[in-house]
Structure 1
Amino acid sequence: MQAQQLSGLAKFQPGVSEIVDAGSGVQIDLGLSQAVPWRVRVLDDPARLVVDFREVDWTGLADMPQASDAVVAMRAGVFRPGWSRLVLELAAPMQVTSAEMRTKGAVGVHLRLEPITEAAFAALAALPEPAEWTLPQAAVLQPAPKKPGKLVVVLDPGHGGIDPGAERDGQNEKTLVLKFARELKEALLRDGGFDVVMTRDEDVFVPLETRISIAHQAGASVFLSLHADAIAEGDAVGATIYSLAADASDEASAALAERHDRDDLLAGVDLSQQDDLVAEVLMDMARTDTSPRTERLGMALETAIKAQGVKMHRHPRQQASFSVLKSADIPSILLELGFLSSERDLKRLNDPKWRETMAAAVVSGLKAWAKQDAGLQALPLK
């Protein structure tokens, strides 16, 4: 399909859209306000249909009639600048037997899906992305030369675009943490001792691996991922500091790490590839130096947050296998600002004064850690 440059943003039309059973298969109609360039493919583990558009406002997706058990979940949003993505998780493997953009009458995409064997579906899902459709590489950053005493901090607002993160009372995690990240960036820059890079500064989807690549290209001294998740079980309240570990501190931590990776997977990212043995050994060697530095970073942040009187979780420092923390050579922390499953935490996240206090605590913690780390790095090896 020829890429067509359109000046307007197409809007989803739920009133002329539906997902219904049709014979042995499924019929999907997606009404749009205007025709746009698009493409469709399937991905595996879990089975899902992915439809990319340039570009669609998906407001009203939850109102679309859904009368088929073949589709078990839907999500949509910005996937990259200028492009949006709709992901339909399928109950069983299916193939696209018909796909067209209708431009007469009710404008929109018409899809027909039919059952297929798991082997055949896996083969379709394994087809390589066309070069122009592959996931975007991390932006080539040209940071200014490091100034003496400057700490390069990469702030990573979690989720974004197609991935809203946790949601409650009409609010979502991706928006709340981006707001805080912007305010924290300003606080760090006002201090004068930091250079700051954001993995995203707008509502776009950034794959986990790209977030780490951005940190490396920026020459990061610290990688700080910001979240505000929700935990269904238990009474999770207060800020929590996570560092990387193969074994999670508890079941809740393990569930959070699994959900973060699953969110990336559902957005169309393949996390199945494992490091080969040589790479794994090299990363373990690098982490021998990085891990204690990360632990000291977590301790410094905990001390500073408590000193500001900010509410912390009853277990303020925990560990889990978050993929976004797996950079072997950069001290990396995931900071849960609070939990959207807690009404009190949600109220705090919406309080500008609370965010200002938390930002000041993070700045203080980073400064304390940087001073300690520099002193330890300067010690002669024995």
Structure 2
Amino acid sequence: MADRVNRWTSLGCRLLCAAALSCGPFVVPGVAEGTPPSPSANTDFPIVSEARLAGDAKQTRFIVDLDKKIQFRAFTLADPYRVVVDVPQVTFQLPSGTGNAGRGLVKAFRYGLVMPGGSRIVFDLTGPAKIANSYVLDAANGQPPRLVLELEQVDRNAFTQQLALDDRPELRPTIADAKAAMPAEGTPNAKPGEPADSRPLIVIDPGHGGIDNGTQSNGELEKNLVLGFGLALRDRIEKSGKYRVVMTRTDDTFIPLNDRVKIARSQSAALFVSIHADALPRREGDAQGATIYTLSDKASDVEAERLAEAENKADAIAGVNLSDEPTEVADILIDLARRETKTFSNRFARLLVSEMKTTARMHKHPLKSAGFRVLKAPDVPSVLVELGYVSNKGDLEHLVSENWRNKAVGSMLQAIDAFFAKRLATATPDTPDK
């Protein structure tokens, strides 16, 4: 099995090299190429201290108080109607719940880090609107510098005209230019002259991040819960010494869904594990327990379909325009690789359920499938793990418990060991595993 995994991984990478090479390096304006700053490395960012809406359904104004002037760019997106404001990385010091309620032309807005060096504010609109004016005011008369955005109601035709102007290359969303985000840690490239590291490479993908909070309950954000779990899993895997590990993110940064997949492909990963935590509206009951998902064109049930639809909207939540995303290369060999990869993904999912049920509460139907975009690498066995429901009191208590996390991480490592058992048994330090 291990030989087939490596064969198809290598084949898939060769077949998809054109797509991978088209993804340029992650560059932030004003930062040396290849050295993106860590969001936590510098705390001297401009501070956003207040954000508010005023106006009505015909004209709405958005005002942000800052401690220093900043540059910005604003543009519109359609289907759904949105306005996006890109700014340099800032520190949002806003009360919890800011943006949940809208006013006038704005249903709600969200904000956060969208890439190292860049923050974003995304407005969900009640209908088509244009950016009538946008500017930054100097500090004056005891008032701080302010960023002001003025919106006006328009019809669909006028909105489409504005959208065409906003689609100029120089005004496209910054995140759309960052086609392949560099993994923050764990890049396994060997130094010149050193033998290649033959240990299996595992990509751990904490879901959401930055402007995309994921689900939330009782003040706990999914993006923080799954990041903590992902880091603990990385540390446990690396401590075993049997594997190399790459994280799609190690801090509160937004990574587009396609870029998460590209990280796994570009690193010739042997396994991709995406970590999430679900939530259900109160009217849908009180589901509980962990669930393991694999990729399928047809969802295994209504709940799986709902979750996949919600997770696949992550890029839209962050205001990413997906119109320029490349399509998959149609090739019979890729299809063959995808079929074999699906077999391996299903096998790992079953192993994961078998091990996790000894340490974690599992969903009554713990194995499911749906069309998750993040699982669509045709050459990398991939699963998505919903650790539990933040909307369930018992699950949430587990998710915030370090003791529970350590047990769950241990069971996941046992599943990984079982999955790679044959490969680890046949590999030797002098003979790279092929």
Aligned twin of 1:74: 109
AA matched with 2:278: D
1:212 matched to 2:261? The reply is yes
Matched-pair contact (CA < 8 Å) for 1:293–1:373: no
**Alignment partner of 1:350 out of 395, 400, 412:** 400
CA change 1:226–1:140 in 2 (3 A) is closer
**In the aligned structure 2, how far is the partner of 1:302 from the partner of 1:282?**
31
Bigger Cα displacement from structure 2, 239-248 vs 276-285: 276-285
Bigger Cα displacement from structure 2, 363-372 vs 266-275: 266-275
CA change 1:140–1:266 in 2 (3 A) is closer
Matched-pair contact (CA < 8 Å) for 2:100–2:109: no
**Alignment partner of 1:116 out of 154, 158, 181:** 154
Deviation at 1:59, TM superposition (A): 2.9
Matched-pair contact (CA < 8 Å) for 1:20–1:66: no
CA change 1:274–1:161 in 2 (3 A) is closer
**In the aligned structure 2, how far is the partner of 1:132 from the partner of 1:259?**
22
Which TM-score applies when normalising by structure 1? 0.89
Matched-pair contact (CA < 8 Å) for 1:24–1:114: yes
Bigger Cα displacement from structure 2, 246-255 vs 278-287: 278-287
**Alignment partner of 1:297 out of 337, 343, 348:** 348
Deviation readout 1:219-246 (Å, 9 max, x if unpaired): 1100100001212223321111000011
AA matched with 2:139: K
AA matched with 1:269: V
Aligned twin of 1:226: 275
- Percentage of identical aligned residues: 33
Secondary structure at 2:80 match in 1: coil
RMSD between superposed Cα atoms in Å? 2.7
CA change 1:339–1:281 in 2 (3 A) is farther
What does 1:336-347 correspond to in 2, within 5 Å? 336-347=386-397
Bigger Cα displacement from structure 2, 269-278 vs 189-198: 269-278
Alignment gaps of 5+ in structure 2: 1-28, 32-41, 191-195, 427-434
1:36 matched to 2:70? The reply is yes
Secondary structure at 2:177 match in 1: coil
1:334 matched to 2:384? The reply is yes
Aligned twin of 1:143: 188
CA change 1:104–1:4 in 2 (3 A) is farther
Matched-pair contact (CA < 8 Å) for 1:159–1:206: yes
Secondary structure at 1:228 match in 2: strand
CA change 1:199–1:316 in 2 (3 A) is same
Aligned twin of 2:17: none
**Alignment partner of 1:367 out of 417, 421, 430:** 417
CA change 1:288–1:56 in 2 (3 A) is same
1:241 matched to 2:292? The reply is yes
**In the aligned structure 1, how far is the partner of 2:331 from the partner of 2:162?**
30
Alignment gaps of 5+ in structure 1: 377-382
CA change 1:352–1:64 in 2 (3 A) is closer
Secondary structure at 2:54 match in 1: strand
Bigger RCO of structures 1 and 2 (CA < 8 A, at least 6 apart): 2
Secondary structure at 1:197 match in 2: strand
Matched-pair contact (CA < 8 Å) for 2:292–2:384: yes
Deviation at 1:287, TM superposition (A): 1.2
CA change 1:346–1:52 in 2 (3 A) is same
**In the aligned structure 1, how far is the partner of 2:329 from the partner of 2:266?**
23
Deviation at 1:104, TM superposition (A): 3.1
1:285 matched to 2:336? The reply is yes
Aligned twin of 2:214: 165
Deviation at 1:261, TM superposition (A): 1.7
Aligned twin of 1:380: none
